[in-house]
Structure 1
Amino acid sequence: MLIQATNKLRDELNLKELKPKERPPLFSWHANFFRLNRRKTVVLVNDATDYTVILYGLKKDDFNNFEDRVKAGIRRAFEREGIKASLIEKYLDQFEDFCYQKAKDRSYIARMNNSCKMTKRFADRLNENEIYQSRVAKNINNMSRKDDKKDYFYPDETLQHELAEYFGEKEVIQTQAAVLKVELELGEYQAWRKIIVPLNYTFRELHNILQKLYNWQDYHLHDFFVYSEEKDKTKNWNQSEYHRDGFKAVLNLAMNQENLDYNRDQLNFAAEDFEQAIENEVKLKDVLPARIKYIYDYGDNWHHYLETEEIIEDYNKNTPSFLEGEGTAPPEDVGGVGGFSEFMSIISNPDHEEYESMLEWAESQRFKEYDPEDIKSDLRLYIY
């Protein structure tokens, strides 16, 4: 493996002698060192694909074992992509020896600096307890770039293509996934969606997907409940853990530590017999197949019920897939189920005295009618 390191990284590694060797671009990475959130950070960018790997919060021991950290970072990132385990091993087997040289090609340095800028852009999404920031890296690798010919490409897709070509593999991605049917409770109306989601996604990523499915703008608080097959007749409709079909909650997932503490202490979830966790620390594979409820906006109180219809063992994509759906979702802050009913009544009647003003308000809320093609497009661009 060839690491083409900036001056700052070479200083941090205390590299005295450089013994550069030629490596194919797929096995050559440009790397930079900087501080982010006052933590030592290294960003590596693959020469052939612009694929980014992020190492965050590195300490002295990590730099003493830098080669191991790099290999582990690449492994974690590739696993997060859903790349086949056998192909990851083939790739890492090429790195029996590491060599370093100075980063001097202006084009590659510019591309590396671009990845560093994007890493800083998502600084608030980094996991403070993790070195290998595969979730943020996945978001960066899912964003379009321009090549030397000014054509657009995606680093994650380019990586898959290069791996397939180099190793002669037809299928690069192989992971488990779930077919989920989601139903938003809307009283007299209905809005359901069916999607495929890789099981290595976290519940934070599922939250982001659900936001896109229903055109929510992520203005409000949310959380999840996971249910067992057991029934619980002690709960009623005004308790957040309640399930409309009476199933027993076994897990509550809060959006962050602050909300978890609030649920535990203020809502007295500590006295309940279900577990609590933070959504970005739990993956779908940890709980599915299961029934799930996603609550968004505790003012309007939108309840989304998720059912696992199928587990796919050999899903060949690393992104969610929208299958089908029906029904327009409400705009933000419409006033819950009752408010949405009134809203639909007004905008379906051009003679209503509030028709024009309601359409203007709806536009300000980014309201739009159900369009499956819009959903497919939004899912390709969603934030991980």
Structure 2
Amino acid sequence: MLIQATNKLRDELNLEELEQKERPSLFSWHANFFRLNRRKTVVLVNDATDYTVILYGMKKNGFNNFQERVKLGIRMAFEREGIKASLIEKYLNQFEDFCYQKAKDRSHIARMNNSCKFAKRFADRFNENEIYQSRIAKKVNNMPRKNDNKDYFYPDEFLQQKLAEYFGEEDIIQTKAAVLKVELELGEYQAWRKVIVPLNYTFRELHNILQQLYNWQDYHLHDFFIYSKEKDATKNWNHDEYHKDGYKAILSLAMNQENFEYNRDQLNFAAEDFEQAVENEVKLKDVLPARIKYIYDYGDNWHHYLETVEIIDDYNKNTPSFLEGEGTAPPEDVGGFSEFMRIISNPDDEEYESMVEWAESQRFEEYNPEIIKTDLRLYVN
């Protein structure tokens, strides 16, 4: 494995002697050091694919054990992509021959700087408690690049292609996933969706998927609740943690640290017998097949109930897949959905035209599975 380090990174690593060795471009990385949010950050960019790995909040011990930090960072990023375990091990075996060189190729340095620029766009989304920012790297690797022929490519897809070519394997992706059925409570109406989601996705990513499934615009606050198989007769619909079938809440997931503290202190969640966490710190594999409730918009108070239909052990994608569904979802800030549907379905109603105009301003759409599939595809890319 070859790391071609910038001057700043070489200074941070106290590198004096550099080896003049060549490595296949798939096993060669350009690496830069800078501060982001006042934290020491290293961005590594693969020479063959522009695939990016991010190390954040590095301390002295991390730089003293830089080889192991890089190795674990690549492992976690590849796992996040859903690359099968045996192939990850084959790739990481190259670390037995690890060396440094000076970053000097202008083209590769420019591409590395481009990845650093992309990473900085997400500065407010970095997890302060993690060194290995695989979620941010996933976003960076989903952003299109131009190759020398001015053709566009995606680093994550290009990595899969290059790994397949080098190791002579066709099935690169192999991960576990869940088939989830989501039901939005709408009284006399129904709007349900069925979707496959990789188990290594966080609840923040599940939130983003649910927004696409129901054409929400992410204008409002949200929370998740996770339930055990036990029943809890002490709760009713006035409690956020209440489940329509009476199940007992065991975990509350807030959308961010600020909401976590508000729920704990102002809503007195600290006195409840369920745990609390922040959604980007918990993955689906940590809780499924438990029942889930997703609350969106505490004004209209939309409750979505999620159940695990099936666990897939050999899912061959690293992205969600929409399967089927039924029913139109409400537009944002609708207030009374029944009244809205009554008017919107009757062209003779005196409020029909104004309601149609308002609905368009809210990006309202009738249920359309093809639009949902497209929206999900845009979300992951």
> TM bucket by the smaller chain?
over 0.9
Cα distance in 2, alignment partners of residues 371 and 113 from structure 1: 41
Q: Structure 2 unaligned runs (5+)?
A: none
Cα distance in 2, alignment partners of residues 371 and 110 from structure 1: 42
* Other structure's SS at 2:366 match: coil
Q: TM-score, normalised by structure 2?
A: 0.96
Counterpart for residue 315 of structure 1: 315
Q: Structure 1 unaligned runs (5+)?
A: none
Residue 336 (structure 2) pairs with residue 360 (structure 1) = no
The alpha carbon displacement at 1:281 in A equals 1.5
The alpha carbon displacement at 1:375 in A equals 1.6
Residue 115 (structure 2) pairs with residue 115 (structure 1) = yes
Cα distance in 2, alignment partners of residues 114 and 151 from structure 1: 16
Cα distance in 2, alignment partners of residues 359 and 54 from structure 1: 46
Cα distance in 2, alignment partners of residues 17 and 359 from structure 1: 70
Contact preservation (8 Å) 1:143, 1:381: no
RMSD between aligned alpha carbons?
1.6
Cα distance in 1, alignment partners of residues 230 and 309 from structure 2: 19
Counterpart for residue 33 of structure 1: 33
* Other structure's SS at 2:17 match: coil
Residue 125 (structure 2) pairs with residue 128 (structure 1) = no
Counterpart for residue 325 of structure 1: 325
Aligned residues: 381
Counterpart for residue 219 of structure 1: 219
Over 3 Å counting, the alpha-carbon distance change for 1:127 and 1:168 in structure 2 is same
The alpha carbon displacement at 1:140 in A equals 1.3
The alpha carbon displacement at 1:249 in A equals 1.3
Over 3 Å counting, the alpha-carbon distance change for 1:198 and 1:161 in structure 2 is same
Residue 346 (structure 2) pairs with residue 343 (structure 1) = no
Cα distance in 2, alignment partners of residues 251 and 54 from structure 1: 30
- CA deviation profile, 1:91-149 (whole Å, cap 9, x unmatched): 01012122222323232222211111111000111111111100110111122222222
Runs (4 or more) in structure 1 with deviation over 3 Å come to none
The alpha carbon displacement at 1:265 in A equals 2.3
Amino acid at match of 1:352: D
- CA deviation profile, 1:160-202 (whole Å, cap 9, x unmatched): 1111221122211211111000011112221111011111111
The alpha carbon displacement at 1:271 in A equals 2.3
Counterpart for residue 266 of structure 1: 266
Contact preservation (8 Å) 1:200, 1:285: yes
* Other structure's SS at 1:308 match: strand
* Other structure's SS at 1:96 match: helix
Counterpart for residue 197 of structure 1: 197
Cα distance in 2, alignment partners of residues 139 and 360 from structure 1: 35
Residue 17 (structure 2) pairs with residue 20 (structure 1) = no
Counterpart for residue 175 of structure 2: 175
Cα distance in 2, alignment partners of residues 102 and 366 from structure 1: 52
Stretch deviating more after TM superposition (76-85 or 346-355): 346-355
The alpha carbon displacement at 1:383 in A equals 6.4
Over 3 Å counting, the alpha-carbon distance change for 1:150 and 1:347 in structure 2 is farther
Counterpart for residue 103 of structure 1: 103
- CA deviation profile, 1:2-40 (whole Å, cap 9, x unmatched): 112222222222222322211111101111111110111
